[in-house]
Structure 1
Amino acid sequence: MGNVLLVSVPTFNAGVLRIDGVVSALLPVGQHGFWRCGAKVEVQTVDTRRPVSELDAEEFHAQGMGEHFVAMDLAADEVGLRFEDGKLAEILPPDTRRQYWKAQARQELQRVDLKQGLRLDAGQVARLNRPGVAGMEHVLLALVPAFHVGVLKIDGVVVGLLEPGQHGYWRCGSQVEVEMVDTRLQALEVSGQEILTRDKVSLRLSLVANWRYLDVLGAHARMSKPVEHLYRELQFGLRAAVGTRTLDELLEDKQLIDDSVTGHLRTQLQDSGLEVGSLGVRDIILPGEMKTLLAQVVEAEKSAQANVIRRREETQATRSLLNTAKVMEGNPTALRLKELETLERVAERIDRISVVGGLDQVLNGLVSLKTG
């Protein structure tokens, strides 16, 4: 069997027969045999689902076998859509030169002129938005959700806004980006800010602001990252509000911080395309030792207030007793009624009472009045 070469060409492949290093024929799928007597016979199997290499293509054409291939050449301002049996298979970038096997599938090329613009039409977007298409790195497909807009940037320059829906752009020769922007009211939190007050007390504060876009295109034209810009301005406003006031001023009027930061933003965000609807300080955290001192101060203040209230009540009670005594001093009947009231209270605390000599004797015996 040393003088015989037996080869098998599998499915989706072709055999390249070389005799003494020169391409002699292309072999179809199946079993093949060749005599090796006096010549060097080789068979190379190649995948017909892949494009032919440039070196092999030149060799095949030199041997008059160009009818087995389809050439696809694109200019510098063209993009190619390659179809196999009518189904989109691949996106070819500009300046592409490739050869494809005819035997594997019916090959077709659709050219797209980039001079007409980078935007894809609705049909191209729907066709490309399917799995299994090679070369998708040459196209950008962007889905803009509801209540959002897409900021389109080409080579770093903002060129327009995209409405909700599916959009597509060619990336060949240009850097295309789409940044999604939520147009609804949003919350931005500035948390964990360590700030010294004017009297050198360290505070940790958190601030929450509700904001939205007034002019998306204008905001991105003036600022590269509007949300980060808003965050920094909130930080600056918070530091200015706290750093210029003492701890007592801040604790006495917490609304002071909100008003100060709001005024700062009103000045800094003018004509920026951003609007802050409302903001407020969520947390003010004091250092541990400062908490202890403030607790002691509050305790002393409350204790002093309790003493004042207690003395005031005692004074009022004493004054009331003095007024009652003055009334009874000139009115024996009122004094007698007071005696009966006292007797009633005493009787409420006694389980059993034995009366000797009648009720009048009890009253006279218990209480003796001295008349002047």
Structure 2
Amino acid sequence: MFIKVIIQADERGLLFHKGSYTKELNPGTYHFSAWSQTTVVIMNITEPFVVEGRDLQLFLHDEALVQELDIVRVQDHEYVLHYEDGQFVQLLKPGVYAFWNILKKNAFLHTDIRQPELPAEIDRSVLTKLTAYVQSCEIANYETGFLFYDHVLQRELTPGKYYFWRGPVSVVVKTMDMRQQQMDLIGQEIMTEDKVSLRLNFVCQYRIIKPLRALEIKSFEEQIHIQLQLMLREYVGTLKLDDLLKRKEDVASFILSRLHEKSEEYGVQFLGAGVKDVILPGEMKDILNTVLLAEKKAQANLITRREETASTRSLLNTAKLMDENQTLFRLKELEFLEKICEKIGSISLTGGGDLLERLSSLIGENKAASK
């Protein structure tokens, strides 16, 4: 009795005798006796060379077989990208692999994951298939970044997107914002020289110009915040309340000049500073409002007296002119009579004489009566 084995064009056979590999069988028809203890494993050459339950090393002594295989060894510190006819197929982790090279051309790209940054040879279009093995970071166009391997600084990164292997090396990217920034000090409680407790709202604008220096400072923003607090207390503590309210702009100038001295130390350029608000306690507000009201009343009284004095002086000048000029006196009388007539509906006069003389005599009589 014979066993018939047919091997197709896209197949290869592996002949085993008593469980041991003997040789490769090319496409064709083979007959084996049933009692010969011979078996054939048929392999599809479009798939990787894998014989279940058998180690690859058992087949590598067959030179004819090895000629039709591409053997790739992936070290512990490597990832290998497998391409078939120029198309990415898979990522190979550490181990030994074999692929048929009869119908397809294999190519392998070895990458050392001890150097985590992906090499430029890897097309970015395949990264979506490698998300389990790759991490990425982005540096915005207003940022600069610093690359660390195992907490050791490697280099500065310009804006862009970067990809790194997930492997034995820890990768950290720290970014610094290079735009103009603002720091607000809200409700800083400070005591003036005359023992008045108040609260200040202060603002400072700055820009980082030496990002590496700023990165080396622990709690960078907190340290600048504390420096601003100390400078404010130093300056405001030497002023009385009235001086502070009058010279708020001087506070900003002093603080900014002191900050310029710290620019090199912090790696920043301080652009501006200013007092936004001075908040007084409630009782101090009442006192200041009372003082302000008294000052305004005094100013109003002074203005009133000035106006009264000017009015009196004007009347005196007018009287002098009328004494010296009878025509002017007569005109003033007519103006006065006109104003009287505007407020009187009708006037009845008896007797002869000129109308104007009669009205004048009437006015004179009224003045005598009032005396």
Task: Give the TM-score taking structure 1 as reference length.
Answer: 0.66
Residue 327 of structure 1 and its aligned partner are, at CA, apart by: 2.9
* Residue of structure 1 equivalent to 2:212: 217
Q: Deviations over 1:59-101 (max 9, x none)?
A: 9569x9999xxx9985453345589996566685xxx6799xx
Task: Classify 1:110/1:298 alpha carbon distance in 2 versus 1 (closer, same or farther; 3 Å).
Answer: same
Structure 2 counterpart of 1:298: 292
Q: Per the alignment, in what secondary structure is the counterpart of residue 346 of structure 1?
A: helix
| Residue 82 to residue 204, structure 1, CA distance change in 2 (3 Å) | farther
Preserved contact between residue 140 and residue 176 of structure 1 (Cα < 8 Å):
no
Aligned to 1:118: 116
- 2:344 paired residue number: 350
Aligned to 2:357: 361
Structure 2 contact 186–202 (Cα < 8 Å) conserved: yes
Return the match for 2:225 from 215, 221, 231. Answer: 231
Matches within 5 A, 1:1-372: 60=53, 75-79=75-79, 111-114=110-113, 117-122=115-120, 124=122, 126-127=124-125, 129-130=127-128, 133=130, 135-136=132-133, 139-170=134-165, 172-220=167-215, 222-270=216-264, 272-354=266-348, 358-368=354-364
Give 1:183 deviation, angstroms.
2.1
* Aligned-partner residue type, residue 236 of structure 2: V
Specify whether residues 180 and 243 from structure 1 end up closer, same or farther in structure 2 by C-alpha distance, changes over 3 A only. same
8 A contact 2:189–2:199 mirrored in 1:
yes
Structure 2: segments with no counterpart, 5+ residues: 1-51, 61-70, 98-105
2:183–2:205 Cα contact (<8 Å) kept: yes
Native 8 Å contact 1:91 1:135 kept in 2: no
SS in 1 for 2:168: coil
- 8 A contact 1:197–1:247 mirrored in 2: yes
Task: Specify the SS of the correspondent of 2:266.
Answer: coil
- Partner SS, residue 270 of structure 1: helix
Q: Residue 321 of structure 1 aligns to which amino acid in structure 2?
A: L
Deviation at 1:251, TM superposition (A): 0.5
Deviations 1:21-51 (A, max 9, x none): xxxxxxxxxxxxxxxxxxxxxxxxxxxxxxx
Match of 1:27 in 2: none
Aligned partners of 1:328 and 1:199: how far apart in 2? 61
CA deviation after TM superposition for structure 1 residue 276, in Å: 1.5
**1:253/1:87 CA distance change after superposition, 3 Å:** same
Q: 1:199 to 1:108 in 2, by over 3 A?
A: farther
Larger radius of gyration: 2
Aligned partners of 2:317 and 2:333: how far apart in 1? Answer: 17
Count matched residues.
Answer: 300
SS at match of 1:269: helix
Q: Distance in 2 between matches of 1:239 and 1:128?
A: 59
- Whether the 8 Å CA contact 1:88–1:133 is kept in 2: the answer is no
If the length of structure 2 is used for normalisation, what is the TM-score?
0.66
Gaps of 5+ in 1: 1-58, 100-106
Change (3 A) 1:303 1:348: same
The 8 Å contact of residues 152 and 160 in structure 1, kept in 2 or not, is answered as: yes
Moved more, 361-370 or 251-260: 361-370
The aligned amino acid for 1:121 is P
Q: Does the CA-based 8 Å contact 1:89-1:134 persist in structure 2? A: no
Shift of 1:201: 2.1
Residues 241-285 of structure 1, C-alpha deviation per residue, up to 9 Å, x if partnerless? 323322111111110211121012011223532112122222222
Aligned CA distance change for structure 1 residues 173 and 133 (closer, same or farther; 3 Å): closer
1:203/1:60 Cα in 2 relative to 1: closer, same or farther (>3 Å)?
farther
Using the TM superposition, name which of 256-265 and 148-157 deviates more.
148-157
State the superposition RMSD in angstroms.
3.9
Offset from partner CA, 1:318-357 (integer Å, 9 cap, x none): 2222233333333333322222222222223334445665
- SS of match in other structure, 2:303: helix
Tell me what 2:14 maps to: none
**Contact 2:116–2:171 under 8 Å retained in 1:** no
Q: How far is 1:202 from its partner?
A: 2.2
Superposed CA deviations along residues 292-319 of structure 1, whole A, max 9, x for unmatched, are 1111111111111111221222222222
Amino acid at match of 2:77: D
**Whole-angstrom CA distance in 2 between matches of 1:178 and 1:310:** 74
- The alpha-carbon distance between structure 1 residues 336 and 172, as it changes in their structure 2 partners (threshold 3 A), is same
Q: CA 1:74–1:197 in structure 2 vs 1: closer, same or farther (change >3 Å)? A: farther
